[in-house]
Amino acid sequence: MIKDYMAVINLSENENDIRSLTTNRPIASVPVASRFRVIDFILSNIVNSGITNVGVFSASNSRSLVDHVGDGKPWDLNRKNDGLFLFTHGLDELVNYDSRLLKNNMEYLFRSKSTNVVLASSYMIANIDLADVVRAHETSGCDVTAVYTEVDDADKNFQNCFTFEVDSRTKRVTDVGKNIGFGKKANICMEIFLLKKEFLIDILYKSAHSSRHSSLYNAIFDQLENITINAYKFDGYVACINSIASYYRANMDMLKTPVREELFCSERLVYTKIKDEPPTIYVKGSKASNSLIADGCIIKGTIKNSVIGRFVEIEEGAEVENCIILQNVKILKGAKIKNVIIDKNVTVKEDAELKGNSSFPLVIEKKNLISGIR
């Protein structure tokens, strides 16, 4: 258990390549792994390390996030002292959005008693022992510790993520770049930083009104000449949810036992909001194989290699293959869908056929409960 740390989750995340899932919500509250949301992972990592003071800074479109996170109870963050703090006030200008959002709520940082901060994004999914990162940070004596992962699929995954040059002897970050998908090997920054609160505040003052920085992280990296950044290598599973393709891949990864066991069966549990769904029922004639299925489903048809959310109904004769299906979806009799991502509340009509490509899955957007279209 670590002491004297608070956490700041920065949800100003790039949604350019995942728009069809984020029209109604930020990346942080996109459903993933059948019953979780993207933010559950970083929130659980933080809580599992013993941190009890977490500030979540979200851009606009926060309804779904607020609904999901609530008062923080599922993460044991509904505390009298400290606990969860949600900052969801939209800003009109998008320049230096995250720095300004934090700076506008500077009082929160001042009031918090912790000396150090874990600053993190949500879209990198992993089960990481932050207490170990803290230990490494404190022995390193560096101003900042940044967590990274060494990947060999940077040409397909982790697009637009920060990359590090790391000195193999000193384990310091010597240069920072962006992954534009040219090579396979890269050190991808997982956007988890440890730093002094004082230092963060200093950066915020400097960057919020500067026209130089496009983001808070850029402002930190801009200091590379003046500060030392310790590089902490994380060897576990990391999924980066920043495009439809990577979202699809990450969900499919959950079907692999080693990935599932690493993420969900360690001592560090992943917490999420409880929905009070009944167990799932499988009717005679149904056929499910290699699939991750949430509670509350009624399965009468065939499911193969798919990830199914809560309260999904698959009727007789329906066939679902290589699909990601989110909450409250109905697949009616005889419908056949393959390589499709179906967002919440959609009904696929009888005998309908939908087919995507495994590298470019078809996305059926969330049915809006207000307009009731589609």
Partner 1 sequence: MAKKNMIAMILAGGQGSRLSPMTKVMCKPAVSFGGKYRIIDFALSNCSNSGIDTVGILTQFKPQALNSHIGIGSPWDLDRVHGGVDMLPPYMSEQGGDWYKGTANAVYQNLNFMDQYDPEYVLILSGDHIYKMDYRKMLKEHISRDAAATIAVIQVPLEEASRFGIMNTDENGVIEEFEEKPKNPKSTLASMGIYIFTYKELREYLIKDAMDPDSDYDFGKNIIPNMLNDGKKMIAHKFEGYWKDVGTISSYWEANMDLLKVDNDVQLFDRSWNLYTSTKVRPSQMIGEDAKIEDSVITEGCVVEGEVINSILFPGVKIEKDARVVNSIIMENVTIESNVIVNKAIILEKSVIKANNVIGNGDDIAVIEANTVVEPNYGGVANN
Nearest distance from C-beta of residue 319 to partner 1, angstroms = 15
C-beta closer to partner 1: residue 91 or 298: 298
C-beta closer to partner 1: residue 16 or 266: 266
> Which spans of this chain sit near partner 1 (rule: CB under 8 A)?
33-36, 73-74, 255, 257, 260, 263-265, 269-272, 274, 276, 278-296, 298, 300, 303, 308, 311
C-beta closer to partner 1: residue 289 or 368: 289
| C-alpha to C-alpha distance for 153 and 103, rounded to whole angstroms | 36
C-beta closer to partner 1: residue 183 or 278: 278
Residues forming beta bridges with residue 313, ordered by sequence position: 298, 330
Strands 124-125, 31-32: parallel, antiparallel or unpaired by DSSP?
unpaired
C-beta closer to partner 1: residue 36 or 123: 36
Compute the half-sphere exposure of residue 225: CA atoms within 13 Å on the CB side of its CA: 2
Residues 6+ apart with CB under 8 A from 302: 286, 287, 288, 314, 318, 319, 320, 321
Nearest distance from C-beta of residue 312 to partner 1, angstroms = 11
Residue (of 215, 251, 190, 216) closest to 21 by Cα position: 251
**Tokens for 138?**
């404190």
Residues 6+ apart with CB under 8 A from 306: 291, 292, 320, 321, 322, 323, 324, 325
Nearest distance from C-beta of residue 21 to partner 1, angstroms = 19
C-beta closer to partner 1: residue 144 or 299: 299
| C-alpha to C-alpha distance for 356 and 144, rounded to whole angstroms | 43
Residue (of 122, 86, 372) closest to 250 by Cα position: 122
Nearest distance from C-beta of residue 194 to partner 1, angstroms = 26
Nearest distance from C-beta of residue 260 to partner 1, angstroms = 6
Residue found by looking up tokens 């918090």 in the block: 112
Strands 83-87, 53-57: parallel, antiparallel or unpaired by DSSP?
parallel
Nearest distance from C-beta of residue 283 to partner 1, angstroms = 6
C-beta closer to partner 1: residue 183 or 285: 285
Nearest distance from C-beta of residue 44 to partner 1, angstroms = 9
Containing H/E element for 219? helix 216-221
